[in-house]
Each structure stands twice: as C-alpha cells, then as structure tokens.
Structure 1
Amino acid sequence: MVEDIIDILRENCDSKDNQSSYMAVQHVRDQLLSPSKRHELQPIWDKAVRFIEANESRIRLESQIIQGEEFEVWKWIHSVPNGAKVWQGQAFGEHNDTATSSLRYSPTPCLKVKNMFDTAVESDQEWYESVENAILEKTEDIADIVHIYVDDESKEGCVYIKCSSREAAGKARQCLHGWWFDGRLITARYLRLEHYHKQFPESVKAVRPLRFHKQQQKPSSLSQPYYRSTLEMT
C-alpha cells in the first residue's frame, strides 16, 4: 500500500499536465480503495498513512484549499542529487501584508535568518557553503548582501546577514521569509545594526556586495520549480 501511494504521488508530480506537487489524501485513498472494499481495507490504509508520516521524508502533510474547500494533502518533495539544497516554494502568499510592510519599513540593514539547516543531520563537508550560496543565489539581483555568517553551531539553523542598506534588507527579508528550503520553513527577522557590529566586528567595514559562486557538481538551489497552491495564489 505504501509503495502504491508513493507511485501515485510521484506520477502526479512528474506529470507535464499537472501544475501542483500535491494531492488530497482522500483522493489518493479513493484511487486505491474502491467503495466496495474501503471498509475492509481501511485498517491497512491507516497503517500505511502512519508509516508515511513517520518514515517518508519525500512526502509532507499540509492543508490546502482546493476549489474552495480545505483538504489535508500530501506534497511530494523532489529529491536532489549530491546533497544539494534547494528552495521549494512559498508557505505564504506572494502579496501578504507582512512581506509588503517589511519592504517599506525596514528599520535596519541586518537580518537573522532561522531554520536554514539542521546540524544534527548535515553530513556534507561543505554544507555551510551550500547554505551561504543558497541565500546569495536567492537574493541575487534583488538585494546586495555585504556580509554573511553561517552559525554552524546553532541549533536553530541561524544565518546572519548584513545588507548594503535598509531597503536592501527589506527586499532580502521579503525574498527569504516564509519560504521552504531543504524541507524547512524559513523565518527572517531584523537585527539592530549596533548589535550586529558588536557580534561581527569584521562586518563594520564590509561594503562590497557578495556574489553567488556555483559549486562544482552541485545543481543550483533554484533548480527545482516552485509549486504554489491555490491558497498561496489568493
């Protein structure tokens, strides 16, 4: 049953005619269990659902609005070769008020970005460079970052960023906050400039914008297409 569920979700995601990477859990069940067998096979279905929730990292349970009705859905997360890290789409709408206000009223050029990594599971020797590059690539041509620090001992997956201006920081926050990255939901908040300089003295004289450098044998962090749900488009 688990393999059948995985096959349906993978085929749905890979279909050229489909614009979403998710399916309603009920719809998957209805494809696999005919009405006449549904009651008899329900315990097997429930066991398969529990197994997926506990063991299958490629499938994430979410809540989405489909044709005006809320459903629990399974979202297929693309696998990426060579341990690469990718941006996987927005958790919130593109035009949410929080993102807009942060762009207009950025109080500082500095940001603290959380949940970019998990030190307990990172295995690649250059994982911190992948995280740094992912941020620089995501904000390239949008906001100039002049200093970045990946706190490789942080249990919250923190990355600290100083931008060239307050306006640039607002754009960077809008570009990062509320996005899925490597299966984690990213949050970004402002840090006072004096606190940032105290924590990172070398950043005081940082003025030259940093640029994304493509790592050999690793795909771009933007290589995966973004899938937006009906809820995200409202």
Structure 2
Amino acid sequence: VLGAPATGPVLQSTVPGLGLIPGASIPVITQSIDTAPPSECLLLKNMFDPAVETDPDFDLDIRDDVREECSKFGQVRHIFVDKNTAGFVYLRFDSITAAMGAQKALQGRWFAGKMITATFMSTQQYEMKFPE
C-alpha cells in the first residue's frame, strides 16, 4: 500500500537479527556444571584470582569468610583455600544436608566481583586430596 509504513523485508534487511528466532543471535552459555551426586564435600570455584591478590595471607581471609558464611548451613569440618588455582576452596561439612544447603546458596552467587560455582565432590575424591 502506497504511503503505508515500511515493514517486513525492508526492516528485516536493515535490522540484524529481526525476523529470525528471537534471541538466536545471543550467545548461550553451554558450560556444564559438574553433577556429582550430593555429598558432604563441596568445591567452590572462582572465589579469587591469585594473579591479583597482593596479601600473602589472602587465603586466611577467604577461609574465614567462607567458614562464617557456610556455618549457617551446618558444621564445617574442614576447609582449604588452594592459593595456586583459579579460586578453588574445598569444604567438608558434617552432613550432606549442610553441604546441600551451602551448595544451593552459593551456586551462581557473586563474591568479590566473581560468580562462584559450587559443586559436590565425592567423599572418596575429597579424602584422596585431604587424607585424614
């Protein structure tokens, strides 16, 4: 129709992504989260960047912060901040229920400008890394 607003092919050719499946040009994060069955052992990742830490005892501050936060869910039996990783903090709780509460609360949460991942570790894996 003459004088009618231009729609359809004219707009589709000038606006990228218009007319396609909505959101198709938006990248989707497909990184899978390790899905070990729940146990009393958790691995937190991305808690810190060792390359930017300046305090030689930064791990002690992180350990104390994590212990304080995770104690809300149950007794923390063991905690280790691995200074030579991409922000790994290992936790062992007194029960699976406590670990599940912490995992649910911490997964995807932001800490010091970084998004945390919280995944379960098997008790066997944990004990191999930290023999009692």
Partner residue, 1:117: 48
Identity, in percent, stands at 37
Equivalent position amino acid for 2:89 in 1: V
Contact 2:67 2:79 in 1 (8 A): no
Structure 2's unaligned 5+ residue stretches are 1-34
Give the TM-score taking structure 1 as reference length.
Answer: 0.40
Which secondary structure state, in structure 1, belongs to the residue aligned with residue 42 of structure 2?
strand
**Deviation of 1:176 (Å):** 1.5
**Deviation of 1:172 (Å):** 1.2
1:107 maps to which of 38, 57, 61: 38
1:133 maps to which of 64, 71, 74: 64
Following the alignment from structure 2 to structure 1, what is the Cα–Cα distance between the partners of residues 93 and 121?
Answer: 11
Count of residues in correspondence between the two structures: 97
User: 4+ residue stretches of structure 1 with deviation over 3 A?
Assistant: none
CA RMSD of aligned residues (A): 1.5
Partner residue, 2:8: none
* 2:62 maps to 1:152: no
Which secondary structure state, in structure 2, belongs to the residue aligned with residue 113 of structure 1?
strand
Q: What does the per-residue CA deviation read over 1:172-228, in whole Å, with 9 as the maximum and x for residues that have no partner? A: 1122111110110001000000110011002xxxxxxxxxxxxxxxxxxxxxxxxxx
Q: What does the per-residue CA deviation read over 1:112-165, in whole Å, with 9 as the maximum and x for residues that have no partner? A: 1000111100001221011111111112332221001111111x2101111101
Give the TM-score taking structure 2 as reference length.
Answer: 0.69
Equivalent position amino acid for 2:67 in 1: L
Equivalent position amino acid for 2:47 in 1: M
Equivalent position amino acid for 1:120 in 2: A
Structure 1's unaligned 5+ residue stretches are 1-101, 203-234
Structure number with the higher helix fraction is 1
Which secondary structure state, in structure 1, belongs to the residue aligned with residue 49 of structure 2?
coil
Q: Which has the higher contact order (CA 8 A, sep 6+)?
A: 2
